[in-house]
Amino acid sequence: MAERILTVNDLHVSFDTYAGEVQAVRGVSFHVDAGEVLAVVGESGCGKSVTAQTIMKLNPMPPARITHGEIDLAGHDIVSASERQMQSIRGKEVAMIFQDPMTCMNPTKQVGKQVVESVRLHAKVSRTEAKQQAVDYLNEVHIPNPRERARQYPHEYSGGMRQRAMIAMALSCKPKLLIADEPTTALDVTIQAQIMQLLVERKNQMNTAIILITHDLGVVAGIADRVAVMYAGKIVESGTVREIFYEHRHPYTEALLRSLPQVDSTKREPLMSIPGTPPDLLDPPKGCGFSARCRHCMQLCKEEQPPQFTLNGEGHYASCWLLHPDCPSAAERGDRS
């Protein structure tokens, strides 16, 4: 049985603003095992990045608050950990690849020196040894002429190379968990494939657990083992890649997949879109967060949060009143087409 690296249980995260309390994450639970890739998908603002940053305690507190829940990372209680404790956990136990490496790298420092800092922060090695390790890591992520490139600054790298350098820094301390927050945003398709392949290589070599945050379902299909679909601060469905793509049961998951262009389809069908907008998490809905946009919506959906239903045995879950055994048929509900 694979080692359990991360367990998140009933996590609630809020932000205190002048307008009021933004309930960004509302009861999220999931786990990740060693050597496993968990993809977290959903549209912008659903709470994906806030959840990931909370695991590393990167959200400034205040205004952020963990109002409820538990996070166990390789035996560490993250919720109660102090900033001093988190400094030893970040990098060693968990590392993060950010969406835009240009804003996360120091533009005034050579890339190699930034990798050296990462190495020396968690490993007791000399500066000379750390420099050699930095060159080795740049070489491992397929940056050409790594010794020369290590002396260059971030602006001298292309977008794909900066992302590779960010991966080198993240992996330099051999973390048990790697969080990749939309690592292929703004990269062309060829470079996206190379970055994803690089993550798979690192996972296989080091048995690293990966949380991949993305809205690109094509990327998910190619790399993930399991998928968690988020909407309005909640995980509305989770399961294996096959279960989510071919046996999905939540209307939001269905809507996401219907909005994808079907290259091999023989039918001339218009590309579907999801009408409406996500709910305001300053005042989240009393019932299901997706009810206002759902073509299957019933009165109960607007009034009460749906429980989590287990589907197809253990591991596939969805939160939707349609899955209740007493739910009326589509004709009785009067579903919108």
The string of pLDDT tens digits covering residues 319-336 is 999 988 888 776 666 666
Return all residues near 238 (Cβ < 8 A) that are at least 6 apart: 30, 226, 227, 228, 229, 244, 316, 317, 318
Facing residues of 213 across strands? 40, 181
Residue pair 96/179 in contact by the 8 Å Cβ criterion? yes
The rounded percent of the chain whose pLDDT value lies above 90 is: 31
Residue pair 46/29 in contact by the 8 Å Cβ criterion? no
The pTM for the full model equals: 0.88
Ranking 194-208, 263-277, 300-314 by mean pLDDT, the lowest is 263-277
Residue 291's nearest CA partner among 320, 329, 318 is 320
Q: Strand, helix or coil at 22?
A: strand
Ranking 5-14, 30-39, 137-146 by mean pLDDT, the lowest is 137-146
Sheet-wide strand order for 4-17: 20-33, 4-17, 64-73, 76-77
C-alpha 20 chain-centroid distance:
26
Kindly tell me if the per-residue pLDDT of 11 is higher than 70. Answer: yes
The rounded percent of the chain whose pLDDT value lies above 70 is: 94
Q: What is the pLDDT of residues 199-222, one digit of tens each?
A: 888 888 888 899 999 887 878 888
Q: Which of the four pLDDT bands, split at 50, 70 and 90, describes residue 236?
A: very high
| H or E segment and range at residue 234 | strand 234-240
User: Cis (ω within 30 of 0) for the bond into 62?
Assistant: yes
Return all residues near 12 (Cβ < 8 A) that are at least 6 apart: 23, 25, 26, 27, 66, 67, 68, 69
If one counts every other C-beta atom within 10 angstroms of the C-beta of residue 48, the result is 24
Beta pairing, strands 177-181 & 209-214: parallel
CA distance 209 to 202: 10
pLDDT number for residue 265: 58
Q: What is the pLDDT of residues 20-66, one digit of tens each?
A: 999 999 999 999 999 899 999 988 888 888 999 999 998 888 899 99
Compute the half-sphere exposure of residue 296: CA atoms within 13 Å on the CB side of its CA. 16
